[in-house]
Amino acid sequence: MTSFKELGIAAEVCDVLRYQGIKEPTPVQEQAIPVVRAGRDCIAQAQTGTGKTLAFLLPIFEKIKPQADVAQALVITPTRELAIQIAKVAKSVGEAVGVSSLVIYGGQDIERQKQKLRRHPQLIIGTPGRLLDHLRRGTIDLAQVNKVVLDEADEMLRLGFIEDVETLLKAVAADRQLLLFSATMPVRIKALAQQFMSEHITLDAIEQVIVDTTEEDKLDRLCEIINQDNPYLMMVFCHTKQRAHQVTMALAARGYLVDELHGDLSQVQRALVLKRFRTAQLQILCATDIAARGLDIEGVTHVVNYDIPHDAESYIHRIGRTGRAGQTGKAVTFVNARQYDLLRRIESGIKSRIRKAHAERHKKHVEKQQKILQEIRAKEAEHKKKKKPLSKYANRKGASHKGRNTRSRRQTPAKSRTNLGHRSKLGRH
């Protein structure tokens, strides 16, 4: 069986666990800890008593920065009893790594809780009602919280806390890591996870390219891609509803099977458009970011970012419409000269460089240059073949002769020139 040390838990934490009589991880800890330490969202279906508290606390303590005096992690529980139980475990482990924690629940003196919150605990454990109360009073700051745990999520649903939980999740950092632990998985809990959890998209299955273009040439470049690749289903993402409508009308005028999806459509209209797109009655769907999340449409082979996304998260959700269910896909992003700083931030967010695709005219120019270069090389080779043959007397005439059947280039000492002979002929001697 795997040990805590092999799971990457710090030695001082392992000593605390050993002192408490915990020597080996439980199955849920063995499976959840590596996932949480990797920074990924996690859903664990586990009953009470399986060790799920340490399953999320241990990797969270590894991620918290003790030198930062801000709340960095939040654990939400349905009852005060469970909150107190988790707080006891957090206190014993937190002391070993220098992380402070605070438990907040209803029934306590709220003024006393305010005083403790001013000490800036790095881990906050609490019930939804009291946490929301502090949030509305402005006495708790969750903007820097990037690790959130929902413990006993099904119980929170049963007690009617799910709307409060959604409000709290909207108050934390946008790049949060969400961990959901629940004994059962009702439909409402699955919907909550789908809404707030990042999708795990395999970017390796998606061919990502950028196309350098201008606003005037975007539509022509889009048509080039459609004509060359002939996609089965393509989604074209735009920033605004007006832009999506304009692109839709322009493509329809050129004879493509296209429709639009954005916030101005009624629910009935959206459902009809999606039905036509799913059944391949449409080839192209122009949409705003409303369609980037929550839609699972099979067969989307191409995604085009007609307008470049504002951040890496939006980029990932957009291109995640393709390359699903083990299939491959292609994502094209249009970029103009002023948007390369934004592109670099997206590349930093996905930790990868995106290949630049060249226009067809650029390819033709390169081919033309290569053809000219080949002709020049062929002429040089032909010219070398036409050189005069070596003379059979080349060796006898010496190295300075160069071996050609022409006048010898052997260097001879120059004769002294006088006019003696000339004078004798003139009879002056």
Q: What is the pLDDT of residue 173?
A: 86
- Asked whether residue 169 is assigned to any structural domain, the reply reads yes
| Parallel/antiparallel/unpaired status of strands 73-76 and 101-104 | unpaired
If asked whether residues 175 and 242 sit together in one domain, one would say no
- Asked whether residue 288 is assigned to any structural domain, the reply reads yes
If asked whether residues 60 and 88 sit together in one domain, one would say yes
Distance CA 129, CA 125 (A): 12
Could you read off the pLDDT tens digit of each residue along the chain, which spans 429 residues?
568 888 888 888 998 998 888 888 888 888 888 888 878 788 887 655 678 889 999 999 988 988 888 999 999 998 888 899 899 999 999 988 899 999 999 888 889 999 999 999 999 999 999 999 999 999 999 988 989 999 888 888 778 888 888 899 888 988 888 888 877 777 777 777 777 776 544 555 688 999 999 999 999 999 999 999 999 999 999 999 999 999 999 999 999 999 999 888 887 888 899 889 989 999 999 998 866 555 667 788 999 999 999 887 778 778 878 876 557 789 999 999 889 889 988 888 776 788 887 655 666 777 888 888 888 888 888 777 666 555 555 555 455 555 555 555 555 555 555 555 555 555 554
Distance CA 397, CA 394 (A): 5
If asked whether residues 308 and 189 sit together in one domain, one would say no
If asked whether residues 207 and 306 sit together in one domain, one would say yes
Distance CA 150, CA 127 (A): 10
If asked whether residues 148 and 35 sit together in one domain, one would say yes
Q: What is the pLDDT of residue 200?
A: 45
Domain boundary among 196, 216, 247: 196
Q: What is the pLDDT of residue 27?
A: 81
3-state secondary structure at position 90: helix
Q: Give me the DSSP letters along 186-245.
A: -HHHHHHHHHHSPP---GGGEEEEEEE--TTTHHHHHHHHHHHH--SSEEEE-SSHHHHH
Phi, psi of 147 (to 5 degrees): -135, 115
Distance CA 122, CA 72 (A): 5
Q: For tokens 């040089």, what's the residue?
A: 380
Q: For tokens 């391949």, what's the residue?
A: 280
Distance CA 192, CA 195 (A): 5
- Asked whether residue 135 is assigned to any structural domain, the reply reads yes
Q: What is the CATH number of the domain that holds 307?
A: 3.40.50.300
Phi, psi of 126 (to 5 degrees): -170, 175
- Asked whether residue 52 is assigned to any structural domain, the reply reads yes
If asked whether residues 138 and 276 sit together in one domain, one would say no
If asked whether residues 174 and 28 sit together in one domain, one would say yes
Q: Where are the beta strands (DSSP E) in 198-353?
A: 206-212, 234-237, 258-261, 284-287, 302-305, 329-335
In this structure, are residues 91 and 101 in contact, taking their beta carbons and an 8 Å threshold?
Answer: yes
Q: How many domains does the chain have?
A: 3
Distance CA 190, CA 209 (A): 33
Distance CA 96, CA 147 (A): 20
Q: What is the pLDDT of residue 354?
A: 86
Distance CA 327, CA 427 (A): 110
* Domain assignment of residue 355, given as a range: 203-359
Global pTM value: 0.49
What angle is formed at CA 221 by the lines to CA 218 and CA 222, rounded to 5 degrees? 85
- Bridge partners, residue 149, by sequence: 75, 179
List Cα–Cα distances, 357 to 211, 229, 335, 374, in angstroms: 5, 14, 11, 25
Could you count the other beta carbons within 10 Å of the beta carbon of residue 204? 10
**CA torsion sign, 160 to 161 to 163 to 166?**
negative
Distance CA 72, CA 173 (A): 9
DSSP single-letter state for residue 338: G
